[in-house]
Amino acid sequence: MLVLGIETSCDETSVAVVKDGREVLSNIISSQVPIHERFGGVVPEIASRNHVEAISNVMKKALKEAKVTLSDIDAVACTYGPGLVGALLVGVSYAKALSYASNKPLVGTNHIEGHIAANYITHKDLKPPFIALIISGGHTHLVYIKDYKNFEILGKTRDDAIGEAFDKVARVIGLGYPGGPKIDKLAKEGSANIELPTTHFDNLDFSFSGIKTAVINLNHKDSNINKADLSASFEKTVTDILIEHTLNASKKLNINTIVLAGGVSANSYIREKFVELEKTNNMKIYYPEPVLCTDNAAMIASAGYYNYINGVTSGLDLNAEPNLKLLN
DSSP state of 29: E
CB of 32 to ligand KG4, least distance (A): 12
Does residue 110 touch ligand KG4 according to CB under 6 A? no
Provide the angle, in degrees to the nearest 10, between the axes of the packed helices 162-172 and 227-253: 170
The single residue among 32, 99, 136, 237 that binds ligand KG4, judged by CB under 6 A, is: 136
Site for ligand KG4 in 4-43 (CB under 6 A): 10
Annotate each residue in 260-299 with x if it binds Zn ion (CB under 5 A) or - if it does not, as one string: -----------------------------------x----
Look at the chain and count its residues: 328
How are beta strands 12-19 and 23-31 bridged, if at all?
Answer: antiparallel
The single residue among 120, 144, 166, 306 that binds ligand KG4, judged by CB under 6 A, is: 166
CB of 286 to ligand KG4, least distance (A): 16
Site for Zn ion in 109-138 (CB under 5 A): 136
CB of 39 to ligand KG4, least distance (A): 15
Residue 180 contact, options ligand KG4, Zn ion, none, Cβ 5-8 Å cut-off depending on partner type: ligand KG4
Comparing CA positions, the residue from 93, 96, 97, 95 lying closest to residue 85 is: 93
Q: Smaller CB distance to ligand KG4: residue 182 or 245?
A: 182
Does residue 266 touch ligand KG4 according to CB under 6 A? yes
Residue 290 contact, options Zn ion, ligand KG4, none, Cβ 5-8 Å cut-off depending on partner type: none
Does residue 163 touch ligand KG4 according to CB under 6 A? yes
CB of 147 to ligand KG4, least distance (A): 23
Does residue 160 touch ligand KG4 according to CB under 6 A? no
Q: Smaller CB distance to ligand KG4: residue 161 or 249?
A: 161
Give bridge partners of residue 23 from the DSSP assignment. 19
How many CA atoms lie within 13 Å of 179's alpha carbon, on the beta-carbon side? Answer: 25
Does residue 180 touch ligand KG4 according to CB under 6 A? yes
Are the beta carbons of 176 and 225 closer than 8 angstroms?
A: no
User: DSSP states of 80-145 as a string?
Assistant: EESS-HHHHHHHHHHHHHHHHHHT--EEEEEHHHHHHHHHHHH-TT--SSEEEEEE-SS-EEEEEE
Residue nearest to Zn ion (CB): 295
Helix (H) or strand (E) holding 166: helix 162-172
Residue 193: which region, alpha, beta or left (left: phi > 0; alpha: psi -120 to 50)?
Answer: alpha
The single residue among 295, 301, 306, 326 that binds ligand KG4, judged by CB under 6 A, is: 295
In terms of Cβ atoms closer than 10 Å to its own Cβ (0-12, 13-18, 19+), residue 234 is buried
Binding site residues, Zn ion, CB under 5 A? 136, 295
